[in-house]
Chain A
Amino acid sequence: MTACVTEKTIANRPQDGADPKILVFACRWCSGIGADEAGRQRLPMPAGFRCVPVECAAGVDPDVILKAFSAGAEGVAVLGCHLDGCRYNRANHAAAKRMALLTTLLETVGIGADRLLTSFGTAHEGHQFAALMRRFSQRIAALSALTCRVTKTDPVLGGWGDDA
């Protein structure tokens, strides 16, 4: 049995070569179906992303995205219907506004705006979905690992644990 550690650090970078962990919130009317479509066609896609279907992109609370980063996601994508093709009138505008603000906040503290992807597509666009995931994954992989948990990682010097 191994002891678990509460002082959670953001899960380490996956091993060399593995795709970065990405959490995707996709609306179940458009982009979510597009994602399924991409899978059904066996299009080449990175292996590191997980898709969470949501009723509408506007239902994704920015807090949930922050929690996802905190829990170890290297990137988060919020995908909705095309801007003028929203199932719920223009709810995706609300999502766009909110995500724009959250992106600003992530940029402010230096986590970086490009870790949060907001995009809009539709059900038959499987190819576009796959391409987007590939590019997003590449972009995240090019960034340095995210250690957002506010723990200081400097080595402790002269510890009496070391010399025993």
Chain B
Amino acid sequence: MGPDFVKTICPYCGTGCGLILTVRDGRVVGCQPDRGHPVSKGTLCIKGWSAGEFIHHPDRLTTPLLKKGGRFVDISWDEAIDVLVGRLGEVAERHGAGAVGGLCSARCTNEENYLFQKLIRRGFGSNNVDHCARLCHGPTVAAMGRALGSGAMTNSLADFANTDFILAVGSNAAETFPVAMGEIYRAREKGARLVVIDPRTTEMARNADLHLTLRPGTDIPLFNGMMHHLLANGLADQTFIDQRTEGLAALAAHLDDWAPERAATVCGVAPELIRQVAEDYARAPAAMIVFCMGITQHVCGTANVFAVCNLALMCGQVGRPQAGICPLRGQCNVQGACDMGGLPNVLPGYQKVDDDRVRARFEAQWGGSLPAEPGLTVTAAMAAAESPIRAAYIMGENPVMSDPDQRHTIEFLKRLDFLVVQDIFPTDTTRLADLVLPAACFAEKEGTFTNTERRVQRLRKAVDPPGDARDDLTILCRVGQALGLDFSYADSAAVMDEIASLTPSYGGIRYGRLNAGGLQWPCPDTNHPGTAVLHQEQFARGRGLFVVPDYQPPREMPDERYPLVLITGRMFCHYHTGTMTRRSPSLQREVDRPFVEVNPQDAQGRGICDGDRIRVETRRGAIMTTARVVPKVAAGTVFAAFHFNEAPADALTNNALDPVSEVPEFKACAAQIVREATCPNP
């Protein structure tokens, strides 16, 4: 008679807060924070509180849909699986295995991502597996993997509360990771200092002790200036450098040219501030660096992350509790999707696909051969003039809204011979699909998510999926079986057992051990308590490596035609492509229409008033939106949130790629704004 209370994990950002869903008569009727959760400790942000609102939304996909003559018709699951296997197989046969690509999902569980990459690799013989880490922390995985040996956050979120100094670069955690930000406020109350480096006066910058407003995309000069000062004045941690790192000589030679005065002319931060922040960071007993998309989404994203790592290594501020490098991962399971091998060059556990021994081990367990050649990244596949990809299987992603240069993305997807999209709601991407498969949302399945601090946590099923929708695990198993693979798993726990047997860092993870609070990988065996702080005795690669970061200004600089710099990003009440949040009434009540933030100085020169309709143009396209005239964006920049499909910011963004990780430059492109009409309701 009474309701059930189901403990699960929030489906939005990577903090991985605990939720308790109230379930009555097979429906989720309430959502509240979990007081006993080790990360969130009974708190949630506005998105978490309303996480239950979209579950029973009438728009949910409830039956497989096949496009016939330009219209979608309902079909049975048997037919859907036949079509999927038949058409993808046909493409693979005609154009070779490399013509099939798959996008797994940072919104799906570890088990589903594991099966998905196994399906693409084993079933279609293709390494073209990727997901949206390619649009966010790809450079982090690449650069931290090279410099330290592991691309993950080095410490736990709880470490923030007791650290002495926090340097936040290109992160607006106050809006995008509010619960993690709570730990930073706790540290500040105990006397820690927070310094924010961001071109925008974000919520985080507003609540900081010091805010450095640099020019967009000039992080490397700023960091070089800091490191030059430290080396020149003997403030570097020489013991740490000698004992635990290598490669400083090359970096030191490179830094000779980067005195703070020169850095200041490039990045626009006063030299004395560069010196002061460098000293404060180096002298703090324990200091943490937080960084996010402001670092990675640039053409020199990987180099940016190298610069961050260099600073931490130089000061010995890594590999200890309360001192580390913390990339905040943006989605509930983006860490897990990377761990599970949802990337074209690695198998689960970041084991290189072109390593014969690794492949042999997987081949033995998976019972069949695996392709040796690393696959294409999604951004490279789309950017190529003659893309080899002819058919794609997309699970729980919406590239039309999330990838740069929307017109180009749509053309690419339209050109495909066959596109199958598996999602919970109709999206701009499902519209272009040939086959749409209805999937289950977070409250309708079992599985695990890995949060930003590497904590593997259990998701629990609260209700059944609507109509004929099935959870992704079931769908993938059916597809796998139709392809003749041995995809017969009793449940998601059985998949986790297989993951543990192949992935050293997940070696000790069993469902039975995850119940209260989860486990932080690396957890190599079943008696291991998990690891809160990485690289304590030595770095995962042995010695920490200094890499010379190669500075490149943003690909597109402002000019006469497009005099402003457009920055894109997230805001507190919506999430990414808005598929879920824009169907949640309490979030829509906060913001229900797109907007662009404009500095009063830029607005005045163009006769733009707060609330006016404006057109934002770049070389890729134009959108109509509303102006918010606020001083928090610096003069010369405009900021657009990318959640709104009626005015998609990604119609404007540049698909210039970071050469190493192939992450696009979402954070800077040249733009112009024009006033269209006055504010409809002043």
Contacting chain A: which of B348-356, B462-470, B477-485, B629-637? Answer: B629-637
| Residues from chain B with Cβ under 8 Å of A152 in the complex | 206-207
Which of B213, B214, B610 contacts A3, CB < 8 Å?
B610
Is B514 close to A, CB under 8 A?
Answer: no
Residues of B within 8 A of A164 (CB): 268, 635-636
Assess the A160–B268 pair: CB atoms within 8 A.
yes
A163→B270 CA distance, assembly (Å) = 9
Nearest CB of chain B from residue A8's CB, rounded to whole Å: 10
Chain A residues within an 8 Å CB radius of B207: 152
Chain A positions within 8 Å of B607 at CB level: 1
CB neighbours of A5 from chain B (8 A): 600, 610, 629-631
Judge whether A4 and B609 touch: CB under 8 Å: yes
Identity of the chain A residue whose Cβ is nearest the Cβ of B679 in the assembled complex: A4
Indicate if the CB atoms of A3 and B629 lie closer than 8 Å. yes
Binary interface encoding of chain A residues 72-116 relative to chain B, with 1 for a CB under 8 A from any of its CBs, else 0: 000000000000000000000000000000000000000000000
Known: A4-B609, A5-B600, A152-B206. A157 touches B268 (CB 8 A): no
Question: Binary interface profile of A, 60-80, with partner B (CB < 8 Å = 1, else 0)?
Answer: 000000000000000000000
Chain A residue at smallest Cβ distance from B199: A160
Q: How many residues from A make CB contacts under 8 Å with B?
A: 17
Chain B residues positioned under 8 Å from A157 (CB to CB): 210-212, 270, 273
Partner pick for A159 among B268, B608, B629, CB 8 A cutoff: B268
Q: Is A161 an interface residue (CB 8 A)?
A: yes
B269 within 8 A of A: yes
Q: Check if B603 is an interface residue, CB within 8 A of chain A.
A: yes
Q: B210: which A residues are within 8 A, CB to CB?
A: 157
Judged by a CB distance under 8 angstroms, whether B201 is at the interface is: yes
Q: Which of A2, A151, A160 contacts B214 (CB 8 A)?
A: A160
Report which residue of A2, A5, A156, A158 has the largest number of chain B beta carbons within 10 angstroms of its beta carbon.
A158
Quick check: B268 and A3 within 8 Å, CB to CB?
Answer: no
How far apart are B213's CB and chain A's nearest CB, in angstroms?
4
Does A6 reach chain B (CB closer than 8 Å)?
A: yes
Tell me if A7 counts as interface (CB < 8 A to partner B): yes
Report B78-109 CB contacts with A as 1/0, cut-off 8 Å. 00000000000000000000000000000000
Contact B604 A160 (CB under 8 A): no
List the A residue with the shortest CB-CB distance to B273: A158
8 Å CB contact of B609 from A3, A160, A163: A3
- Those of B239-298 within 8 Å (CB) of chain A: 267-270, 273
Q: Do the beta carbons of B213 and A159 come within 8 Å of each other?
A: yes
Q: CA of A13 to CA of B215 in the docked complex: distance in angstroms?
A: 34
In the assembly, what is the distance between CA of A4 and CA of B682, in Å?
A: 11
B215 touches A160 (CB 8 A): yes
Q: Does B455 contact A (CB under 8 A)?
A: no
Q: Which B residues touch A1, using CB under 8 A?
A: 604, 607, 609
Q: Which residue of A lies closest to B210 (CB)?
A: A157
Chain A residues whose CB sits within 8 angstroms of the CB of B211 once the complex forms: 156-157
Q: Is the CB of B610 within 8 A of A161?
A: no
Cross-chain contact B631 with A160 (CB below 8 angstroms): no
Q: Are A3 and B631 in contact (CB under 8 A)?
A: no
Q: Give the docked Cα–Cα distance between A6 and B612 (Å).
A: 12
Whether A160 lies near B629 (C-beta < 8 A) is: no
Q: Which residues of A contact B212 (CB under 8 A)?
A: 157-158
Say whether A3 contacts B636, CB under 8 Å.
no
Can you list 11 residue pairs at the A/B interface with Cβ under 8 Å? Answer: A3-B608, A4-B609, A4-B610, A156-B213, A157-B210, A157-B270, A158-B212, A158-B213, A159-B268, A160-B215, A161-B635
The 5 lowest CB-CB distance pairs between A and B, nearest first, are A160-B268, A3-B603, A158-B270, A159-B213, A3-B604
Q: A4-B609, A5-B630 are in contact. List 20 more A-B contacts (CB 8 A).
A: A2-B604, A3-B608, A4-B610, A4-B629, A6-B610, A6-B628, A7-B630, A157-B211, A157-B273, A158-B212, A158-B213, A159-B268, A160-B199, A160-B213, A160-B215, A160-B267, A160-B268, A163-B268, A163-B270, A164-B636
